[in-house]
Amino acid sequence: MTDLILAEQLPIDDGRSIGIITLNNPKALNAQSLDMVKAMMRIFSDWRDDESVVAIVLRGAGERALCAGGDIKTLSQATGLSDVQEFFEHEYGLMQMLYEYPKPILAWGHGVVMGGGLGLLSACSHKAVTSETMMAMPEVSIGLFPDAGGSWFLNRMMGKVGLFLGLTGARFSGVDALYLGLADVYVAPDSYGDVIKALTSADWQGDHHGLLNQILAKFYQAPDHDSQILKDFHAISALMNAGSLADVDRALRGYQGDSEFIKSAIENYTKGSDTTKALTWRIYHEVKPYSIAEMFDMERKVAVNCVMRGDFKEGVRALLIDKDKNPKWRYTLADMPVGYIDGFFGDCV
């Protein structure tokens, strides 16, 4: 097992245990490599079938992040189709496993929770956030798309907030996550140790999911401010209901309101990949009837195509390799060939 994933079992009074999985890559904000994903799959699989493990906590090492996403720099440098396919098959396989997991999993969403990290958190049965939580699906900046289950959870947010977050890559807080239903409980940043003590001292009889709900409720802290997305909900809705993607694009670029949150999101949007925007738009409007398995199968195809023939490698080059922050995107919305986006939804050969 890689040292980048740590697993321990904390005993409870009756001899069973609470499983703790720690993403142990704090210098990279606990970004997930393929080896880390494989290690987590093995642990979750073992503990699913181990009756002595009553619940699991998923956390990130250090104080800065649960997980900032996938190891996109390494992924961008992959030369073979099989390597790219292997990464996404395992990443999405892990997340599908978590969505279908029979035991309660508490994701400790402190610090940065972005991209694949937000996908991990969203797949867990119980989700805690703090005043230090910072979330985003920032794929528009790297030419990917809101993947790792983003197709699922963005589509289920109220109104069209999920579409706005996917198109713009806007950053949002733990309070916003609570408002949007992405989090179950808002807790003090320094409460992790006390929560673990409560878990290990509880009487794990009956409904384990319900018991975890009761324990977390004792640690709930009312936020000291309102959700910014709640404040801007009507403005966001007006922008997203402008019409077609071209109409929404014009509405965003022509925004005259006074929300700094929306202005910042639009600034990020205008610099992002138009291929990502077109993919995000299409997926958002098509994925609603999909099952979890169908959704991840679709995401796998689109993600592999983004890496092999889309804007992904150029986006990562500009952001993380050359760091010039000046990506040369393949197409604009205006000059994108008819049928170009269709090609992302088939198997890459």
Name the region of 186 (left: φ>0; alpha: ψ -120 to 50; beta: rest).
beta
Residue type, 11: P
- Beta-bridged to residue 10, according to DSSP, are 18
Q: Find tokens 């809101």 and name the residue.
A: 146
Q: How confident is the model at residue 348 (pLDDT cuts 50, 70, 90)?
A: confident
DSSP string, 191-247: -HHHHHHHHHHS---S-HHHHHHHHHHTT----SS--HHHHTHHHHHHHHTSSSHHH
170-196 confidence digits (pLDDT tens) = 999 999 999 999 999 999 999 999 999
Q: How confident is the model at residue 2 (pLDDT cuts 50, 70, 90)?
A: low
Name the region of 115 (left: φ>0; alpha: ψ -120 to 50; beta: rest).
left
Long-range contact set of residues 197-204: C-beta below 8 Å, sequence gap at least 24? 199/10, 199/12, 199/18, 199/55, 199/57, 199/106, 200/10, 200/11, 200/12, 200/18, 201/12, 201/13, 202/12, 203/13, 204/12, 204/14, 204/16, 204/54, 204/55
Q: Find tokens 């910072």 and name the residue.
A: 134
Judged on CB neighbours under 10 Å (0-12, 13-18, 19+), 197 is: exposed
191-239 confidence digits (pLDDT tens) = 999 999 999 999 999 999 999 999 999 999 999 999 999 999 999 999 9
> Distance between CA atoms of 229 and 100, rounded to whole angstroms?
29
DSSP string, 115-175: THHHHHHHHSSEEEE-TT-EEE--GGGTT--S-TTHHHHGGGSSTTHHHHHHHH---EEHH
> Distance between CA atoms of 256 and 188, rounded to whole angstroms?
37
89-132 confidence digits (pLDDT tens) = 999 999 999 999 999 999 999 999 999 999 999 999 999 999 99
What pLDDT is recorded for position 1? 45
How many percent of the chain have pLDDT more than 70?
A: 99
237-291 confidence digits (pLDDT tens) = 999 999 999 999 999 999 999 999 999 999 999 999 999 999 999 999 999 999 9
Query: What's the structural domain count of the chain?
Result: 1
Instruction: Report the predicted TM-score, pTM, of the whole model to 2 decimal places.
Output: 0.95
C-alpha to C-alpha distances, 272 to 140, 264, 307, 311, 315, nearest whole angstrom: 5, 13, 16, 10, 9
Q: Are 146 and 163 in contact (CB under 8 A)?
A: no
| pLDDT greater at residue 348 or residue 219 | 219
What residue numbers bound the domain in which 146 lies? 5-345
Average pLDDT, the chain: 96
Name the region of 29 (left: φ>0; alpha: ψ -120 to 50; beta: rest).
left
- Of 78-82, 87-91, 154-158, 328-332, least confident by mean pLDDT is 78-82
Q: Tell me how many degrees the CA angle 321-114-86 measures, rounded to the nearest 5.
A: 65
280: domain CATH number is 3.90.226.10
